[in-house]
């Protein structure tokens, strides 16, 4: 096995442990450094440390008790050895518990995203999650969908005028 193939295999293994940790199948200590730092659109301040990251993911799992987090594409690395990687994922679950102050909506949610991670000794040292928070709001019934009459009405009321379709 070449060094590039070995690096690819290690990255794929890490990506698998990462999504398992989000799903609750393993803990973040299996894929993160003890001083891991994490941010996403739901965090106000960075989450620092494995225990705090476990708490953040645990709150998500309580809000979406049937959550499934899975890989939806191959992990991409910035080069051989240590460095940076992108870990694409797909989340699906029913919003049955409070999340970030929002009571349960009982709506099913499907979300695509990516975690951009900095690696250290084969583990995640820093991670930043990217996903469409507006789409989450639409799926949970909190904001109108793009191009809808409700969106046009809100934009008109805010002084932005009507959007033309087509």
What backbone torsions phi and psi does residue 31 show, to the nearest 5 degrees?
-135, 0
Sign of the dihedral through C-alpha 5, 8, 9, 10: positive
Average pLDDT over residues 27-53: 96
Q: Mean pLDDT across the chain, nearest whole number?
A: 87
Provide mean pLDDT across the span 6-10.
80
Instruction: Specify the pTM.
Output: 0.82
Which domains occur in the chain, in start order?
A: 3-131 (3.10.450.50)
Say if CB 35 and CB 53 are below 8 A apart. Answer: no
The Cα–Cα gap between 79 and 63 comes to 37
pLDDT band, very low/low/confident/very high, at 86 (cuts 50, 70, 90): very high
For the stretch 114-149, pLDDT in tens is 999 999 988 999 999 999 988 998 899 887 767 666
Rounded Cα distance between 90 and 96, Å, is: 19
Helix axis angle, 3-23 relative to 50-63, nearest 10°? 60
């Amino acid at each position: 096995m070449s060094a590039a193939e070995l690096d690819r295999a290690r990255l794929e293994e890490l990506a698998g442990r990462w999504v398992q940790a989000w799903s609750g199948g393993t803990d973040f200590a299996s894929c993160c450094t003890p001083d891991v730092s994490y941010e996403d659109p739901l965090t106000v301040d960075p989450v620092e440390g494995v225990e705090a990251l476990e708490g953040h993911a645990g709150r998500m799992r309580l809000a979406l008790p049937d959550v499934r987090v899975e890989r939806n594409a191959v992990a991409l690395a910035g080069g051989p050895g240590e460095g940076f990687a992108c870990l694409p994922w797909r989340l699906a679950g029913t919003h049955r518990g409070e999340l970030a102050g929002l009571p349960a909506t009982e709506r099913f949610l499907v979300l695509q995203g990516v975690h951009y991670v900095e690696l250290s000794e084969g583990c995640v040292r820093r991670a930043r999650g990217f996903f469409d928070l507006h789409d989450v709001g639409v799926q949970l019934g909190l904001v109108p969908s793009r191009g809808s009459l409700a969106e046009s009405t809100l934009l008109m009321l805010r002084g932005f005028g009507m959007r033309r379709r087509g």
